[in-house]
Structure 1
Amino acid sequence: MSKKILVPIDISESELTQQVIPHVEGYAKQDDATIHFLAVIPDYTYFAAYGLGYASIAPDAKEREAAAMESLSEIVAKFNLPEDRIEKHVLSGSPKDHILQLADDIDADVIILASHRPSMSTYLLGSNAAAVVRHAKCSVLVVR
């Protein structure tokens, strides 16, 4: 039974989002679940990695979060789900850390996330999906 579903969304990857839509809708309809959509955006350290000059002209956190929430809302509108069962979250930082933390915070029953096909770099370095599968306390459905 899945009463709370966490769906991490990469707002820059519309193709991956298309892959998870039928799975999320199916799970949600089976159990009248609440669906928590999560978008994780880069924090200041991401911009600083490109140099202090770039970091100084990066939009401030509130602007980036507002833009991400707008993008997430547009994506969520593509799902055929009742609005009263949808929660949206935008956080900045490490995707895998925020996915795992939010899953714990909301006591998620399942995490449904899309993933690229594995490549040599993800076998060597790992991916967000792999980290979530390894460390989540709930079930994880990885859609490819």
Structure 2
Amino acid sequence: MYETILFPTDGSEGSARAEQTALGLADQFGAEVHAMHVIDTRHYSEPALSAMELVTDEAEDRAMDLLADVIDTGEERGVEVTSHCCHGVPHDEIIAYADDIDADIIVMGYRGQTHSQKMGSVVDRVLQDTERQVLAV
């Protein structure tokens, strides 16, 4: 049923739940998981040789750590995980990457880093702007 699962992560509790769901589906269907993190360029500018560049570098390091953890957890479960880190507007980048890899499903945390009482805005925008199946966990 699923061959390619996209799992965007922001490191939130919602993402942790979605990670377990994505890896479980991959294990069940023998699918590959593509874990991704988007560094939101609306929050980080990218000028050269500035204090903001250091903050951006820290965000990239955090992203790589998040993705490495997903890869490690996948290996423990016998699931192949590919990682992807990029800069841009999260919902746009998630949809574009889903199209690039022809994802069968996008598995996302229902509540991300910035929303605690309702569906996260990134999940909401992905649901609105893609025709792909989205599972909000």
Is TM more than 0.5 here? yes
Larger radius of gyration: 1
Deviation of 1:67 (Å): 4.2
Deviation of 1:18 (Å): 2.5
Q: Give the match for residue 86 of structure 1.
A: 81
Could you state the TM-score of these two structures normalised by the residue count of structure 2? 0.78
Structure 1: which 4+ aligned runs deviate by more than 2 Å?
45-48, 60-67, 74-83
Letter in 2 for 1:57: A
Which of 4, 15, 18 matches 2:16?
Answer: 18
Separation in structure 1 between the aligned mates of residue 20 and residue 59 of structure 2, nearest angstrom? 29
3-state SS in 1 of match to 2:131: coil
Q: Alignment identity in percent?
A: 29
For structure 1, list consecutive stretches of 5 or more residues without a partner in the other structure. none
3-state SS in 1 of match to 2:44: helix
CA RMSD of aligned residues (A): 2.7
Letter in 1 for 2:51: I
1:42 aligns with 2:40: yes
Which of 16, 25, 28 matches 2:26?
Answer: 28
1:1-144 equivalences in 2 (<5 Å): 1-11=1-11, 13=12, 15-43=13-41, 45-48=42-45, 56-58=50-52, 59=54, 64-79=59-74, 80-82=76-78, 85-116=80-111, 118-119=117-118, 127-143=121-137
Letter in 2 for 1:130: D
Could you state the TM-score of these two structures normalised by the residue count of structure 1? 0.75
For structure 2, list consecutive stretches of 5 or more residues without a partner in the other structure. none
Deviation of 1:24 (Å): 1.4
Separation in structure 1 between the aligned mates of residue 83 and residue 4 of structure 2, nearest angstrom? 13
Q: Is the CA contact (8 Å cut-off) linking 2:70 and 2:81 kept in structure 1?
A: no
3-state SS in 2 of match to 1:78: helix
Separation in structure 2 between the aligned mates of residue 10 and residue 93 of structure 1, nearest angstrom? 14
What number of residue pairs does the alignment pair up? 129
Separation in structure 2 between the aligned mates of residue 61 and residue 21 of structure 1, nearest angstrom? 24
Separation in structure 2 between the aligned mates of residue 118 and residue 110 of structure 1, nearest angstrom? 25
Letter in 2 for 1:21: E
Letter in 1 for 2:127: V
